[in-house]
Amino acid sequence: MSERQGDRPWSRFLPASYRGRIAVAIAAALVIAVVGTQLLLGLFVGTRVQREVVQQLRQQGEEIAVVARDQGYAGVAAAKRFLPGTRVVVRRDGQVVYWSDPVKVLEARAVVTDGDIEVTLERQADAGVWGEWAIPLVVGGVIVIIGGVAWWLAGLASRRLRREASALAGQAERVAGGDLDARVEVDDGELARVATSLNAMTERLADTDRRQREFLADVAHELRTPITAIDGFASALVDGAARTDDDRREAAETIKEESDRLCALVGDLQALTVADLDGDVSREPVDVAECCRDVVRRLERAAGEKGVLLRGPADGQDPVVAQTNGPHVETIVQNLATNAVRATAAGGTVRVTASLAGDDAVIEVADTGVGIPPEHLPRIFDRMYRVDSARDRASGGTGLGLAIVKGLTDALGARVEVQSTPGEGSTFRVVIPVGTEDPA
């Protein structure tokens, strides 16, 4: 396994498996606890042993002082044979009258004074066999047992991790194989967050796949209708079923209308593809107010034929400049204005405005049309979604206009908002950052 960037230098010495790492962590913690306990115990035992040895030396020193007074040097030498490993120093009136040399540094010391005689005894504070061998052996055995228990506990923990990770890997493999109904059970384990995220991701993929299938089905239906009409009337012209001039004129007009409808649908699909795939959007200073005026000029005639008053920004208005893409802005405004005219009855009004609001350029398209019911607002930017399918098809709508608006605003780093009241009209608001930096 290669070392990941950012790993600590010592991590390469750790086991690669979860079980090994857990075992090392548990064992290290328990060994530290045992060693710490041993040190404290050794300190306690050593202090107690030294105190007992000093007390014993004090008693023996008193006896040596009596022997020195009664028997002199020879008596002290004879008594020394019963004190192996002990240094004995006897002074009378400050003068050393007996001493023995030690073989190593001694830890316990006691000084006894009896009149003019001073006896000094020194001895190693030894805890005996228990202190030297038994305790270390017991501690070593405990560490070995701890290691075995840690390995067993680590096995239990790692098996659970492996089981959960295996379930996650299995779901990922099923999703990769196309099974978007695969879900993994979420519990309160260590990988619960990963399982929740994986389920959410799969749910989004399933929803995207469902919407894509619905979109393709809608596109096929939209294409079939004009193609069927064109094929039927073209056949009537070819096989002579349209005998009169009026029949042939009606067939030609129908073929032209359906061809225009087909071209509009293909054009919308192309615009939607651009919105989806054009990740590198060129930007330059653009007067969005002028973009709005250009769109209004193109749509004024069609709106007037329907009896709708279409108004754009005043010619004398100050420029509303933003660092953005002019063609995309015009496409956004044209789709919103076309939808507004389509939703507005004769005698109604559609107004397109552009203004600055802080660091943003704001384009508003407001109409006095039929409005949008609240239950439809969350989905109006979905592809091929129509609030009123029959009316929209009759008026030539493809159901892609608002989806194109959403795709292009996202590509520009902008956002689109909508407010609507049924029976009173709708207002679509596009907010575009004016800064020179790339908003995306």
How open is the CA angle 30-34-36, to the nearest 5 degrees?
115
In terms of pTM, does the model score above 0.85?
no
Average of per-residue pLDDT across 276-281: 62
The DSSP bridge pattern shows strands 86-92 and 415-421 to be: unpaired
Helix axis angle, 135-176 relative to 18-80, nearest 10°?
A: 180
The residues, ordered by sequence, that sit 6+ positions from 235 with a Cβ below 8 Å of its Cβ are 241
Of 129, 145, 176, which residue is a domain's last?
Answer: 129
Residue 129's pLDDT band (cuts 50, 70, 90): very low
Interatomic CA distance for residues 344 and 282, integer angstroms: 34
Specify whether 390 is located in the same domain as 294. Answer: yes
CB distance 12 to 3 below 8 Å: yes
Residue 394 has pLDDT above 50, yes or no: no
Q: What is the DSSP letter of 131?
A: I
Question: Between 387 and 277, where is the model more confident?
Answer: 387
Residue 260's pLDDT band (cuts 50, 70, 90): confident
- Residue 177 falls within a domain, yes or no? no
Residue 236 has φ and ψ, to the nearest 5°, of: -65, -35
pLDDT digits (tens, 9 = 90+) for 180-193: 777 777 666 556 77
Residue 392 has pLDDT above 60, yes or no: no
pLDDT digits (tens, 9 = 90+) for 102-122: 645 556 788 888 888 888 888
- Residue 97 falls within a domain, yes or no? yes
Specify whether 24 is located in the same domain as 115. Answer: yes
Average of per-residue pLDDT across 405-419: 89
Alpha-carbon separation of residue 228 from 59, 215, 222, 246, 384 (angstroms): 123, 20, 10, 21, 20
CA atoms within 13 A on the CB side of 409: 23
How many domains, the chain?
3
> What is the pLDDT, as a whole number, of residue 337?
93
* CATH number for the domain harbouring residue 399: 3.30.565.10
Specify whether 301 is located in the same domain as 392. Answer: yes
Residue 377's pLDDT band (cuts 50, 70, 90): confident
Of 217, 243, 277, which residue is a domain's last?
Answer: 277
Interatomic CA distance for residues 133 and 84, integer angstroms: 22
Question: Between 142 and 340, where is the model more confident?
Answer: 340
- Residue 156 falls within a domain, yes or no? no
- Residue 7 falls within a domain, yes or no? no
Of 87, 110, 129, which residue is a domain's last?
Answer: 129
* Domain extent for 35: 12-129
Specify whether 271 is located in the same domain as 407. Answer: no
DSSP assignment of 249-288: HHHHHHHHHHHHHHHHHHHHHHHHHHHHH--S---EEEEH
The residue whose two tokens read 């034929």 is: 305
Compute CA 438 distance to the chain's CA centroid, rounded to the nearest angstrom.
25
Specify whether 331 is located in the same domain as 380. Answer: yes
Average of per-residue pLDDT across 202-231: 75
Residue 440's pLDDT band (cuts 50, 70, 90): very low
Specify whether 200 is located in the same domain as 215. Answer: yes
Own/partner pairs for 296-299, CB < 8 Å, 24+ apart?
Answer: 296/337, 296/352, 298/334, 299/334, 299/337, 299/338, 299/341
Interatomic CA distance for residues 148 and 281, integer angstroms: 63
